[in-house]
Amino acid sequence: MKTRFLFFAVLISSYCFSQSVNDCKAVLIPLKFDFIKSDNQYRLATLSKFNLNKAGFQAFYTNESLPKEYNDRCSLMYFDVVKEKSFLTTKLHVTFKDCNGKIIFQSASGISKEKDFQLAYTEALNKAFISVYALEYKYNNAVVRNSDTNLNPTSPSLVSQEVSASISTNETVKANMGGDSSGTLYAQPTATGFQLIDSSPKVILKIFNSSRKDCFIAAKGNVQGVLIAKDNQWLFEYYLNDKLISEKVDVKF
């Protein structure tokens, strides 16, 4: 159950960025990442390609000759592994960028407490890839890209507009959440985000950090979704019977 929730949560977290991963035909992997000293040190490039292929992506190293069908650089994603500052642990996340250098997906962080660098980087990277597997990538071949323009049809800003438009056309339900007379919930920090409690105190909602301050992965009992800021208010959004439900949340951080 915990594993299933994790997969669902990291899939929802991609909604906090954009939903353009499936619009890309292949992924390019550098042999060297910023935090290592030499090509394929600790076999990070090899491990990345293995995981990407296993997740369904066509993956190539940047020094490989690409087939002709991959000549359009804006049909590709550009992969990176980022090391985060962390005390006594190794913490990595992965990103996919478009041809304009904009992040179109960032994974959840993978953490390892191993002391040996090889073991630590391997474990942390494999954990970060849980997010990538959860995307269930499948190339949709639907988006026409133009490498000569900065107007990228799958940039986060445009995708967010499309998502907003989709939300406005879906049936939405707005309701207050909470247990006290005002409906206000209070945020208590946790290791991964916050738990939102009422005045009882009772935990009403658990939220988990994403890479954006205005978007959290969220869980209310067995219901998983996102807590996002819109129009100066917080909304808990999730799908029920293929319909988008949007519940207003009065929360004090």
pLDDT digits (tens, 9 = 90+) for 180-208: 445 889 888 888 888 898 888 888 999 98
DSSP-assigned letter for residue 65 = P
* Domain limits, the chain: 2-163, 170-252
pLDDT at 180: 43
Parallel, antiparallel or unpaired: strands 110-112 and 90-97:
antiparallel
**Two tokens at 189?**
């920090």
Q: For residues 224 and 8, is the Cβ–Cβ distance under 8 A?
A: yes
How far apart CA 164 and CA 35 sit, in angstroms, is: 37
pLDDT at 142: 55
The tally of CA atoms less than 13 A away on the side-chain side of residue 244 is 15
pLDDT at 15: 53
pLDDT at 177: 52
> How buried is 13 (Cβ within 10 angstroms: 0-12 exposed, 13-18 middle, 19+ buried)?
buried
pLDDT at 182: 55
Parallel, antiparallel or unpaired: strands 193-197 and 184-189:
antiparallel
244 CA to centre of own chain: 19
pLDDT at 239: 82
pLDDT at 53: 95
How far apart CA 155 and CA 153 sit, in angstroms, is: 6
pLDDT at 122: 95
pLDDT at 83: 96
pLDDT at 200: 82
Which CATH number describes the domain made up of 2-163? 3.30.160
Selection from 117, 78, 74, 70 nearest residue 95 by Cα: 78
Ranges under pLDDT 50 in the chain: 1-5, 7, 9, 11, 13-14, 17-19, 143-176, 178-181
pLDDT at 45: 96
Our separate counts of H helices and E strands in the chain read: 4, 13
Single pTM value for the model: 0.54
How far apart CA 176 and CA 25 sit, in angstroms, is: 42
